[in-house]
């Protein structure tokens, strides 16, 4: 039985480890400035923790086999209540490993979250509602127009879904879109809002995730570094349509972005 | 004589009850109450498993029609998910290890004749049972059971218009949880008072089995945490029914403004997780205590580092109250606070690691007997390692960004709570069944159950980590709308098939349980040759646990393989051999 | 860590009882039920256990009010978006507390004194009857009932006063859902009131036990732990009142 335990535990360990090492299913391709740092730290963590995982499971299987009871005449178990020195050693090592890992990630976290967006970032207001994302651009005046909850009507989409107050001067040049367009290599400032319940704005390739909370306007930023189409989705249970609250982030050149925005502005006339 | 005889005391505090109702329904005997809790948990786990079976069917066959239910709509899937989580966390993991086995064996293991407050004990069971009935009733009311997840975040859980099932069903859900809190608090009161005040002579705190330490600290966690959940629930009920705005700011649901303003959804998250994190330790600590016990018994040597194990349990309990924010890294909480919580979370990994090292140290140099309780104990260690290792990923906010609310989290907590903790319950059942029912469970069936479940649960929950890394969000009723999820469908199919097999394998356990009660091999008083007090008394124990006399304790609980002793174990009550260490 | 653990043939030594030298026969009896004499070892154990249980229970109740406090402070301080201006505003407007709360506070504090008197009177009765006769005392005295009855009356007066205070608050237009601050006033005072009502019911039960001439030792224990609970309720009320009055 000890041998069976060893074999099964080792098999499970090595098969699991294989799929991690082979990256058969892995993080999506990173396309933001922060992705490299996050992915690097992810790798560090998973190598260190993977080593611990393998060591512990291998030890477990080995010990179960090595110290199995063999016949009635075998020697008694080794009577010992422990070893304080060992306890101290492995406690310290564990503490150093765990807390060290965390402190190492601290600088990345700080750069992502402790500072506001730069002043010339592309501003996009992202609003989540059951079950769609809307994206609003402030337009040439750089100001977001007022919205009023009484004016919200999701059935007409776009400006109606956001409850845009068209009497406000700043609203005149606001562009509302169901697709998120941003220029590459420029920081994007996202202002996250939600109308009804908590949603979460998740762009896997950008390593971006942040809850959109009703009653709050949360400012976050990321910098896309590769053009392309990237799926985005909702990552906080928001009701029956949670699974289909998806969207698309299109990262384009600065030129294409300006063309797109100009075309949207022109439509409003 | 190994134990002293005293003149038999005429009356145990209450004489053994007569009549079916006093004996089996409203019993004051902690042993009967423990068995009642156990069967409540068994009923709950069967319901919970059925719900998860339906979930796994729907995920890989979204348009399939299930007999008696028909096609599972997205909202139905979310209802299954919500009730699965709620029922499993509360009515299985918080009930069987503590209310079930703790109630039965804590008094006996410390040498007491019953719990401190038997009437309160009986009430705590019936309140919990009532809570379960209320929870199940949510399925049958208009709108059905809620779909807001076991975590119940408002505004989704606070607004009847936010989804099907969020009207009366959600009210019943909250009421059930509030009742459960009351039952849990009553139970915690009993455990704490009993442990502190009713230990037999010689049973010092540092001679208590680690199971008792685990039950004791779990009760303290429950005492301090369930009140907070209760308060959170009251505020939610008021928001839902009395028009208050504790949690709900001004929101517009589907074009309709609702009459709330100014509330904070994050308030619920703080209150809920202040309870929720200690709750997961409530779910795992008794299993850890039992694992220590079983590894020692079946390796025939003392637990490695008893004192360190006690300190580790205490540290886990204390730190468990300081890490709740790690569920909220993406919530809109301040990033500085997030960082503080993440340091504390890494810190709590340390005592858990110590326990794992000590378990390995207990095996080292042992003479291991592979009885079914031991198989589950060894399985527990493996699963705890696997589930624990994914913790440090999630504990770092930066890595939580891609992983939060993905299948990685689901895999993590299922390995720990949904498997390791359940293995603790299985181990407890196989281990203590002889003492409770006077018969052994069938070993062959037990081994089959172990292997199918051990391999099966790894096949279910390890792949979820890969899916999560690849970006598969949790709580999605289907994966048909996002292109990047298409390549994960085969993985999900594998998980579902593994789940079908594993769920089926549990029938072996259920059959073994009931069959052995009637036809199992008769058990001796101490079939495992263990040293703790429950094995000194008759099988099953008499009404006052020790048949008229109080045990006196001379030894610690893990005196196995004592050199020079006539047998390879020394009972705690044995005065003739006192191992000096 | 033991190098060569020694096993020692053990000479069983006499084991002294916990108090007064009686053998620890059922030192851990199962709790309720069964007669016990005032002043006996069993009584001391029963009292200690009941007090410990009460202390534990009070910790749980305290946590409920700790959570309400944190909800109160968070709600008070948290800004929220005013949708019409899209700016962050604080919408906490403190509500004027009915002056009756102050009178009720006095009533409750006085009832704490009467509770103490009831408790001590019962204990004295029990001690007195031990001295007076050998047999366990089953009688009760008139002056003991009146302190207990007075405490019950004051408790009920407090609760009635709270209901009147709510009516006053409602008359000024502040109901449960009117504003966040009014929500908390009703919530905090209501939860406190429910817990105090529980204590009043227990005191009624104790009064019934006295009238029905139940064993005086049990009455002593009941009044003792209820006394602690009562004092906690009074302190809790003062705390709730100060929170509403000063943390505005």
Q: State pLDDT tens for residues B246-300.
A: 999 999 998 888 889 889 999 999 999 999 999 999 999 999 999 999 999 999 9
Min distance B306 CA to chain C CA atoms (Å):
11
With a pLDDT cut of 90, the percent of chain B lying above it is 86
Cis before residue A131, ω within 30 degrees of 0? Answer: yes
Residue C145 pLDDT: 58
Per-domain residue ranges for chain A?
Answer: 2-67+84-113, 122-268
Chain C residues with CB under 8 Å of a chain A CB are 1-2, 5, 80-81, 83-86
Chain A environment of C84 (Cβ under 8 Å): 146, 148-149
Residue of B nearest to C22 (CA): B6
Chain B environment of A126 (Cβ under 8 Å): none
The closest CB to that of C31, out of B4, B114, B230, belongs to: B114
Residue C39 pLDDT: 79
pLDDT class of B10 with cuts at 50, 70, 90: very low
With a pLDDT cut of 70, the percent of chain A lying above it is 99
Question: Which residue range is the domain that position C141 belongs to?
Answer: 109-248
The closest CB to that of B575, out of C10, C177, C180, belongs to: C10
Burial of residue C171, with CB atoms counted within 10 A of its CB: 0-12 exposed, 13-18 middle, 19 or more buried = exposed
Span A149-158, pLDDT tens digits? 889 998 888 8
Q: Which fold has domain A122-268?
A: Immunoglobulin-like (2.60.40)
Helix (H, G, I), strand (E, B) or coil at A135: strand
Average pLDDT estimate for B52-66: 92
CB pairs under 8 A between A and B: 336
Average pLDDT estimate for C227-240: 95
Chain A environment of B249 (Cβ under 8 Å): 214-216
CB neighbour list of residue B111: distance below 8 Å, 6 or more residues apart: B199, B200, B201, B203, B533, B546, B550, B551, B552, B553, C28
- Of the listed ranges A59-63, B342-346, C124-128, the least confidently predicted one is C124-128
Average pLDDT estimate for B365-383: 96
DSSP letter, residue B210: H
With a pLDDT cut of 90, the percent of chain A lying above it is 74
- Across the interface, whether the CB atoms of B193 and C25 are under 8 A apart is answered no
* Run of H or E including B307: helix B306-319
Check CB contact of B423 with chain A, cutoff 8 Å. Answer: no
The closest CB to that of A215, out of C1, C81, C84, belongs to: C81
Question: What does each C-alpha distance from B153 to A62, A198, A237, B147, B283 come to in angstroms?
Answer: 45, 8, 9, 11, 21
CA A115 to chain centre: 18
Strand-pairing partners, residue B163, are none
Average pLDDT estimate for B51-58: 96
Average pLDDT estimate for B338-364: 95
Q: Pick the residue of C86, C87, C91, C180 with the most A CBs within 10 A to test the interface with A by mutation.
A: C86
Residue B45 corresponds to which tokens in the numbers above?
């786990």
Min distance A187 CA to chain B CA atoms (Å):
18
Helix (H, G, I), strand (E, B) or coil at B158: coil
Chain B environment of A163 (Cβ under 8 Å): 252
Residue C206 pLDDT: 86
Residue C98 pLDDT: 92
CB neighbour list of residue A74: distance below 8 Å, 6 or more residues apart: B367
Residue A74 pLDDT: 61
- Of the listed ranges B284-288, C63-67, C208-212, the least confidently predicted one is C208-212
Q: Which chains touch C (3 or more CB pairs under 8 A)?
A: A, B
- Across the interface, whether the CB atoms of B563 and C28 are under 8 A apart is answered no
Check CB contact of B26 with chain A, cutoff 8 Å. Answer: no
Chain B environment of C53 (Cβ under 8 Å): 116-117, 189-190, 193
pLDDT at residue C20 tops 70: no
- Specify whether the CB–CB gap between B95 and B44 falls below 8 A: yes
Cis before residue B155, ω within 30 degrees of 0? Answer: yes
Residue of B nearest to A161 (CA): B255
Residue of A nearest to B164 (CA): A240
- Across the interface, whether the CB atoms of A80 and C86 are under 8 A apart is answered no
Check CB contact of C212 with chain B, cutoff 8 Å. Answer: no
Check CB contact of C15 with chain B, cutoff 8 Å. Answer: yes
Q: What is the domain-level CATH number for residue C121?
A: 1.20.120.80
Average pLDDT estimate for B358-363: 96
Average pLDDT estimate for C195-213: 89
Q: Is residue C28 part of a domain?
A: no
Mean residue pLDDT across chain A: 92
Chain A environment of C83 (Cβ under 8 Å): 147-149
pLDDT class of B235 with cuts at 50, 70, 90: very high
Chain C environment of A80 (Cβ under 8 Å): 1-2
Count of alpha carbons within 13 angstroms of residue B422, beta-carbon side: 27
Residue C7 pLDDT: 42
The closest CB to that of B565, out of C7, C70, C91, belongs to: C7
pLDDT class of C133 with cuts at 50, 70, 90: low
pLDDT class of A179 with cuts at 50, 70, 90: very high
Residue C92 pLDDT: 87
The closest CB to that of A80, out of C1, C81, C86, belongs to: C1
- Across the interface, whether the CB atoms of C24 and B563 are under 8 A apart is answered no
pLDDT at residue C157 tops 60: yes
The closest CB to that of C1, out of A81, A146, A149, belongs to: A81
Average pLDDT estimate for A99-108: 89
Check CB contact of B160 with chain A, cutoff 8 Å. Answer: no
Interface of A with C in 59-78 (CB under 8 A): none
Average pLDDT estimate for A87-93: 93
- Across the interface, whether the CB atoms of C52 and B193 are under 8 A apart is answered yes
pLDDT at residue C240 tops 70: yes
Name the domain count of chain C. 1
Check CB contact of C1 with chain B, cutoff 8 Å. Answer: yes
- Specify whether the CB–CB gap between B128 and B184 falls below 8 A: yes
pLDDT at residue B9 tops 70: no
The structural domains of chain B, ordered by start, are: 27-263 (1.20.210.10), 280-519 (1.20.210.10)
Q: Pick the residue of A76, A77, A216 with the most C CBs within 10 A to test the interface with C by mutation.
A: A216
pLDDT at residue B169 tops 60: yes
Mean residue pLDDT across chain B: 93
pLDDT class of C131 with cuts at 50, 70, 90: low
Q: d(Cα A208, Cα A233) in Å, to the nearest integer? A: 11
- Across the interface, whether the CB atoms of B575 and C31 are under 8 A apart is answered no
Q: d(Cα A205, Cα A202) in Å, to the nearest integer? A: 9
Task: Report the interhelical angle of B372-389 vs A35-66 (nearest 10°).
Answer: 160
Q: d(Cα B166, Cα A182) in Å, to the nearest integer? A: 38
pLDDT at residue B494 tops 60: yes
- Of the listed ranges A75-84, B164-173, B228-237, the least confidently predicted one is A75-84
Residue B578 pLDDT: 64
Q: Is residue C171 part of a domain?
A: yes
- Of the listed ranges A57-66, A113-122, B85-94, B110-119, the least confidently predicted one is A113-122
Check CB contact of C57 with chain B, cutoff 8 Å. Answer: yes
- Specify whether the CB–CB gap between B236 and B158 falls below 8 A: yes
The closest CB to that of C68, out of B117, B231, B552, belongs to: B231
Q: d(Cα A234, Cα B406) in Å, to the nearest integer? A: 11
Average pLDDT estimate for A74-79: 78
* Global pTM value: 0.93
pLDDT at residue B42 tops 90: yes
Span C162-199, pLDDT tens digits? 999 999 999 999 999 999 999 999 999 999 999 999 99
Q: Which chains touch A (3 or more CB pairs under 8 A)?
A: B, C
Q: Is residue C53 part of a domain?
A: no
Check CB contact of B368 with chain A, cutoff 8 Å. Answer: yes
- Across the interface, whether the CB atoms of B261 and C15 are under 8 A apart is answered no
Instruction: Let me know how long chain B is.
Output: 581
- Across the interface, whether the CB atoms of C86 and A146 are under 8 A apart is answered yes
pLDDT class of C38 with cuts at 50, 70, 90: confident
pLDDT at residue A232 tops 70: yes
Please report the ipTM that was assigned to this predicted complex.
Answer: 0.95
The closest CB to that of B197, out of C32, C52, C83, belongs to: C52
How many other C-beta atoms lie within 10 A of the C-beta of residue A239? Answer: 25
pLDDT class of B64 with cuts at 50, 70, 90: confident
Chain A environment of C5 (Cβ under 8 Å): 79
């Amino acid at each position: 039985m000890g041998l069976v335990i060893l074999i099964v535990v080792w098999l499970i360990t090595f098969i699991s480890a294989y799929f991690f090492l082979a990256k058969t299913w892995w993080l999506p391709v990173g396309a933001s400035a922060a992705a490299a740092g996050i992915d690097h730290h992810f790798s560090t963590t998973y190598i260190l923790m993977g080593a611990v995982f393998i060591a512990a499971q291998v030890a477990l299987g080995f010990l179960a086999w090595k110290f199995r009871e063999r016949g009635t005449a075998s020697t008694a178990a080794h009577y010992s209540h422990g070893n304080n020195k060992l306890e101290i050693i492995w406690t310290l090592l564990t503490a150093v490993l765990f807390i060290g890992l965390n402190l190492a990630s601290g600088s990345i976290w700080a750069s992502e979250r402790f500072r506001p967006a730069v002043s010339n970032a592309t501003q996009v207001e992202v609003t989540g509602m059951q079950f769609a994302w809307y994206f609003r651009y402030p337009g040439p005046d750089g100001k977001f127009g007022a919205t009023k909850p009484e004016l919200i009507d999701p059935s007409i989409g776009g400006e109606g879904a956001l409850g845009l107050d068209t009497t406000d001067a700043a609203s005149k040049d606001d562009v509302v879109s169901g697709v998120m367009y941003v220029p590459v290599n420029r920081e994007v400032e996202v202002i996250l809002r939600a109308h009804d319940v908590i949603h979460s704005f998740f762009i896997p390739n950008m390593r971006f995730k942040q809850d959109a909370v009703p009653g709050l306007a949360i400012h976050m930023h990321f910098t896309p570094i590769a053009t392309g189409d990237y799926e985005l989705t909702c990552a906080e249970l928001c009701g029956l349509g949670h699974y289909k609250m998806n969207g698309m982030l299109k990262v384009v050149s600065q030129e294409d972005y300006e063309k797109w925005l100009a075309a949207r502005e022109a439509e409003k006339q | 004589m190994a134990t002293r005889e005293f003149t038999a005391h005429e009356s145990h505090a209450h004489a053994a009850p007569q009549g079916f109702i006093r004996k089996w329904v409203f019993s004051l005997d902690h042993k009967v109450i423990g068995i009642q809790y156990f069967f409540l948990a068994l009923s709950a786990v069967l319901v919970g498993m059925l719900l998860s079976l339906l979930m796994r069917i729907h995920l890989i066959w979204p348009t399939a029609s299930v007999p008696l239910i028909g096609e599972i709509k997205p909202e139905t899937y979310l209802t299954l998910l919500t009730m699965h989580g709620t029922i499993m966390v509360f009515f299985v993991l918080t009930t069987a290890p503590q209310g079930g086995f703790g109630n039965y064996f804590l008094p006996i293991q410390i040498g007491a004749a019953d719990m401190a407050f038997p009437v309160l004990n009986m009430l705590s069971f019936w309140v919990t049972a009532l809570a379960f009935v209320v929870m199940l009733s949510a399925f049958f009311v208009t709108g059905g059971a809620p779909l807001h997840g076991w975590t119940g975040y408002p505004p989704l859980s606070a607004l009847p218009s936010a989804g099907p099932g969020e009207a009366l069903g959600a009210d019943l859900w909250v009421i059930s949880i509030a009742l459960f809190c009351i039952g849990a608090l009553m139970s915690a009161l009993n455990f704490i008072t009993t442990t502190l005040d009713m230990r037999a002579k010689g049973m010092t705190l540092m001679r208590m089995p680690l199971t008792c330490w685990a039950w004791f600290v779990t009760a303290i966690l429950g005492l301090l945490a369930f009140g907070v959940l209760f308060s959170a629930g009251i505020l939610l009920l008021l928001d839902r029914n009395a028009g208050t705005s504790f949690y709900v700011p001004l929101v517009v649901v589907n074009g309709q403004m609702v009459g709330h303003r100014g509330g904070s959804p994050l308030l619920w998250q703080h209150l809920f997780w202040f309870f929720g994190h200690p709750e997961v330790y409530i779910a795992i600590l008794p299993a850890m205590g039992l694992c220590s016990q079983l590894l020692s018994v079946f390796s025939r040597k003392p637990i490695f580092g008893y004192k360190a194990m006690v300190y580790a349990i205490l540290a886990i309990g204390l730190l468990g109250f300081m890490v709740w924010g790690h569920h909220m890294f993406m919530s809109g909480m301040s990033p500085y606070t997030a960082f503080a919580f993440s340091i504390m979370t890494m810190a709590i990994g340390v005592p858990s690691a110590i326990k794992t090292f000590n378990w390995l140290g207990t095996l080292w140099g042992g003479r291991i007997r592979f009885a079914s309780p031991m198989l589950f104990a060894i399985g527990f260690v493996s699963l705890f390692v696997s589930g624990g290792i994914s913790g440090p990923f999630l504990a770092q906010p930066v890595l939580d960004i891609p992983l939060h609310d993905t299948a990685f989290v689901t895999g993590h907590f299922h390995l720990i709570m949904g498997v390791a903790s359940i293995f603790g319950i299985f181990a407890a059942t196989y281990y203590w069944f002889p003492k409770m029912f006077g018969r052994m469970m069938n070993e062959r069936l037990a081994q089959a159950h172990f292997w199918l479940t051990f391999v099966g649960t790894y096949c279910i929950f390890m792949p979820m980590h890969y899916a999560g890394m690849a970006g598969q969000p949790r709580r999605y009723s289907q994966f048909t709308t996002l292109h990047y999820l298409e390549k994960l469908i085969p993985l999900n199919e594998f998980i579902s098939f593994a789940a079908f097999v594993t769920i089926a394998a549990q029938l072996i356990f259920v059959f073994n349980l009931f069959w052995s009660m009637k036809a199992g091999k008769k058990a001796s008083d101490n079939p495992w040759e263990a040293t703790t007090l429950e094995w000194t008394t008759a099988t099953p124990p008499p009404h006052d646990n020790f048949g008229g006399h109080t045990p006196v304790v001379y030894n610690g609980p893990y005196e196995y393989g004592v050199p020079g002793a006539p047998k390879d174990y020394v009972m705690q009550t044995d005065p003739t051999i006192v191992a000096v260490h | 860590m033991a190098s060569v653990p020694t096993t020692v043939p053990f000479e069983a030594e006499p084991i002294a009882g916990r108090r007064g030298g009686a053998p620890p026969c059922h030192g851990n009896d199962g709790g309720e039920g069964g007669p016990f004499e005032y002043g006996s070892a069993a009584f001391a154990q029963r009292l200690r256990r009941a007090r410990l249980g009460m202390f534990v229970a009070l910790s749980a109740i305290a946590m409920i009010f700790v959570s309400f406090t944190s909800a109160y402070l968070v709600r008070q301080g948290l800004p929220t978006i005013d949708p019409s201006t899209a700016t962050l505003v604080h919408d906490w407007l403190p509500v004027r507390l009915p002056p009756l709360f102050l009178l009720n506070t006095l009533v409750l504090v006085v009832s704490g004194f009467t509770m103490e008197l009831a408790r001590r009177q019962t204990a004295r009765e029990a001690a007195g009857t031990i001295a007076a006769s050998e047999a366990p005392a089953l009688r009760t005295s008139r002056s003991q009932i009146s302190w207990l009855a007075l405490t019950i009356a004051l408790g009920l007066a407090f609760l009635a006063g709270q209901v009147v205070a709510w009516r006053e608050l409602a008359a000024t237009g502040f109901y449960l859902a009117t504003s966040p601050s009014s929500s908390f006033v009703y919530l905090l005072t209501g939860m406190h009131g429910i817990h105090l009502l529980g204590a009043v019911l227990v005191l009624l039960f104790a009064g019934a036990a006295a009238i029905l001439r139940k064993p005086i030792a049990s009455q002593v224990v009941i009044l003792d732990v209820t006394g602690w609970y009562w004092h906690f309720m009074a302190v809790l009320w003062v705390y709730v009142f100060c929170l509403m009055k000063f943390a505005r």
